[in-house]
Amino acid sequence: LRDDFGPFDGESWINCAMQGPLPRVAIRALNEAVSLKIKPSTLDDSMFYSVPRKLKDALGRLLNVSPEEIVIGNSASYGLHLLANGIPWERGDEVLLVEGDFAADIMPWQGLQSEGVKTRFVRSSNHMPDAEELERSITEDTRVFCTTWVHSYTGHSIDLEGVSDVCREMGVKLVLNGSQAIGYKALDLSRMKVDAVTSGGYKWLCGPYGTGFCWIEPGFLERLDYNQAYWLAMQGEGGLDEAKTGIVENLGAMKYDVFGTASFHNVMPWTASVEYLLSKGLPSIGRHDQELMGLMIEGIDTERYEIISPAESKESSIFVIEHRRGNTREIYNRVISNGFHVSLRYDRIRISPHLYNTVDEVLSLVELLNKFS
């Protein structure tokens, strides 16, 4: 699949946890969007509806839900803010968060303090809280548990089935941030009981920066109390020559699509990326990513490096290591200067390969890392 991406000019981008590159089909779609803007006479009014609809179709297939249930966002944060600002809170309500989680999962809820909504952190003895740790932390005030699926800095996953069962039994809404998982892990929303999922589109889903989506269980979505009345969402598909000014009720998820929903330069290439991933099949993409993860786990010299990410499982696509003698930053700089693009996070090296990475480049990176004593 390497040839479907790039060119990378001889360098290795093994940093999908930061940004996924656009596949070539998406670059073609982006060029098409640019052509529409160069010559706007080619942009038909109907495209304001057909372009987002096509994205929703693709995301609906990805998540196994009806396309009408998808909210188009521009980030993971978009959906989290929608929920934080839309859930009808009562003073004293509490949101449980994961200690050490990514900032985007924490801040939207902390902003509710003035409404009397508390936030509290679940601590874990092992990177991510398990079902029991969550259960022990829930109180009668807890309304929401918000967590990342795969942790950005450690690669550890939440036990989704376990926490989902606890949340359901205890009447707590489960809000999941799938930004570091969806694209190499499949999420089948017809089977997995979560109340809301949000994700950026520019990492494992290989979309442009400024893309994202949110799915909110329809009954939950209906109970949100949030004033969003985007004029374009109210028009139906009847053309733009005489815009309606009256609020249309019962728009469903569409009510909450981000403004500028058709955002051609982002939506057209992202749709092409998601369709491309679907055509390759998430299970086979996942197998490829796991093969690369297995090579790193087996190949890295554990006398030199401590593996922070799961070492006993290949399921995560985020490999995190720390040099035992503490010169990780210097090693990172040398890795970069050798043309391997990875991340340095909290003084650890984070390596995150995806479908465009090859066995050879991962083996070469491991060989290079093992040279630093």
Ligand X SMILES: Cc1ncc(COP(=O)(O)O)c(C=O)c1O
**Site for ligand X, rule CB under 6 A:** 75-77, 102, 104, 148, 152, 177, 179-180, 200, 212
Nearest residue (CB) to ligand X, 152 versus 316: 152
**Three-state SS sequence of 27-88:** HHHHHHHHHHHHCHHHCCCCHHHHHHHHHHHHHHHHHCCCHHHEEEECCHHHHHHHHHHHCC
CB of 352 to ligand X, least distance (A): 10
Helices 24-38, 264-280: inter-axial angle, 10-degree rounding: 160
Nearest residue (CB) to ligand X, 180 versus 309: 180
Nearest residue (CB) to ligand X, 58 versus 76: 76
CB of 256 to ligand X, least distance (A): 15
In whole angstroms, what is the distance from residue 96 CA to residue 147 CA?
9
One-letter amino acid at 245 equals T
Nearest residue (CB) to ligand X, 177 versus 357: 177
Nearest residue (CB) to ligand X, 137 versus 148: 148
CB of 96 to ligand X, least distance (A): 17
CB of 302 to ligand X, least distance (A): 26
- Lay out the sheet containing 196-200: strands in order across: 70-73, 212-216, 196-200, 173-177, 142-148, 94-98, 118-122
CB of 101 to ligand X, least distance (A): 8
In whole angstroms, what is the distance from residue 44 CA to residue 40 CA?
8
CB of 320 to ligand X, least distance (A): 13
CB of 216 to ligand X, least distance (A): 16
Q: How far is CA 216 from CA 55, 82, 117, 197, 316, in A?
A: 17, 10, 21, 7, 25
CB of 359 to ligand X, least distance (A): 26
With 0-12 / 13-18 / 19 or more C-beta atoms within 10 angstroms meaning exposed / middle / buried, residue 19 is middle
In whole angstroms, what is the distance from residue 158 CA to residue 164 CA?
10
Nearest residue (CB) to ligand X, 32 versus 159: 159
Annotate 254-282 with b (16+ C-beta within 10 A) or e (fewer): bbbbbeebbbbbbbbbbbbbbbbbeeeeb
Nearest residue (CB) to ligand X, 148 versus 157: 148
Nearest residue (CB) to ligand X, 23 versus 200: 200
Residue 263 CB partners (closer than 8 Å, separation 6+):
74, 210
Handedness of CA 179, 185, 186, 188 (dihedral sign): negative
CB of 17 to ligand X, least distance (A): 7
Nearest residue (CB) to ligand X, 49 versus 317: 317
